[in-house]
Amino acid sequence: MAETMHALVYHGTNDLRLEERPLPQIQDPRDAIVKVELSSICASDLHIRNGAVPRALPGTVLGHEFVGEVVATGSEVRKVRPGQRVAANVETFCGTCWFCRQGYVNNCRHGGWELGCRIDGCQTEYVRVPFADNGLDPIPDSLSYQDVLLVGDVLATGFWAVRISEIGPEDTVLIIGAGPTGICTLLCALLKRPARVIVCEKDAARLRFVREHYP
């Protein structure tokens, strides 16, 4: 294995650079190192690029949506093992602080939105995942990387939006946008069987897709 890798690094507003970086190493017994097989670009990555995320640290490898193969684990990792295919959670969380115990993992005292924002993320070849037992889920053999790429952030966002909306059978649901997150939100909303779902989208191709698949 090479000692370096290519990585997309944030250096400031509108300043992204493709650089050679050393391979990540285990820093904590709860870490895992994952070889990135597929990753996607989140609007949050664009927010960082555009200077709209003050907490983002220059010098950080971007990205937090990915799937891949575990290549190394710390001594306290129990859920995943080297050689296992995994999907990554967008949030990095300890699971034991007050916020995590209440279900507010985004506010974890030791994590939250860290990958690709304050610690190196997945727009590269290998990534270190802290609290791997919380942040990684094994991929069943029946599913491909493509099948689960959206689970960690895009589908999770749609699911959470529907959950906190408390949709009932008499409700009308408005979904603004029919991109990947909008479609995942639509799919989750349909599970609640509301009286009506309205999708608001100005792109003709996306609107046509919705009309063809979800009449």
Report the mean per-residue pLDDT for the chain.
96
The per-residue pLDDT for range 65-103, each reduced to its tens digit, is 999 999 999 999 999 999 999 999 999 999 999 999 999
Q: Model's pTM, two decimal places?
A: 0.90
Whether the CB-CB separation of 106 and 67 falls below 8 Å is answered with no
Q: What phi and psi values does residue 49 have, to the nearest 5 degrees?
A: -55, -40
The SS3 call for residue 84 is coil
Distance CA 61, CA 8 (A): 6
Contacts of 148 (CB under 8 A, 6+ apart): 67, 87, 139
The per-residue pLDDT for range 173-198, each reduced to its tens digit, is 999 999 999 999 999 999 999 999 99
Query: How far from 64 is each of 3, 31, 82, CA to CA, in Å?
Result: 22, 16, 20
Whether the CB-CB separation of 72 and 88 falls below 8 Å is answered with no
What is the number of alpha carbons within 13 Å of residue 72 lying toward its C-beta?
Answer: 14
